[in-house]
Amino acid sequence: MIGISSACYAHQYSIGVLSIIKPHLRETPKNATVAGGYLSIKNNGDSPEVLLNATSSISETVEIHEMTLEKEIMKMRQVPEGLVIGVNQILELKAGGFHLMFFGLNKEIKQGDTHKIILNFKNAGEVTVPFKVWEPLHASHHNKNMDHHH
């Protein structure tokens, strides 16, 4: 496992050939059971990398999701095969696209807090990244009307 020792909350971390850019969670309403996680990952290496999955102590499970707009309906699907990051490419996990989804939250996700999330890469292995909690996402898909296929 590779840890990040920096105590400050820089917007970017370098781990081997990977740059982890703006890792963050969004504040959730009280008693929320799901939260979304977002970041960008740049691959500075000379071979493709794959973000396989993630784990965290803040929730029971973490899934990689993709959100797409189909006939004006937001659809969300799990991406069990993970996400490929090509050489010199930046993978963006952001609202409305790919994102991390935390199911079964066991603590409140409050703005200003930081939670450690373990990202599991095919080549780099497990990488612990501090995710800072940003203000709530408005018009979020993480509302209780959304069907998460669970």
Residue ranges binding Cu ion (CB under 5 A): 65, 76, 101
Nearest residue (CB) to Cu ion, 65 versus 115:
65
Secondary structure percentages of the chain, helix, strand, coil, to 5: 0, 55, 45
- Residue 92's identity, in one-letter code, is E
Nearest residue (CB) to Cu ion, 101 versus 129:
101
Minimum gap (Å) between residue 93 Cβ and Cu ion: 10
> Which residue of the chain is nearest Cu ion when measured via CB?
65
CA 90 to chain centre: 14
Distances (CA, A) of 65 to 25, 135, 136: 14, 21, 19
Distance CA 58, CA 127 (A): 16
Nearest residue (CB) to Cu ion, 15 versus 93:
93
Minimum gap (Å) between residue 75 Cβ and Cu ion: 10
Q: Which of 25, 7, 8, 15 is nearest to 117 (CA)?
A: 25
Minimum gap (Å) between residue 52 Cβ and Cu ion: 17
Minimum gap (Å) between residue 142 Cβ and Cu ion: 7
Nearest residue (CB) to Cu ion, 42 versus 99:
99
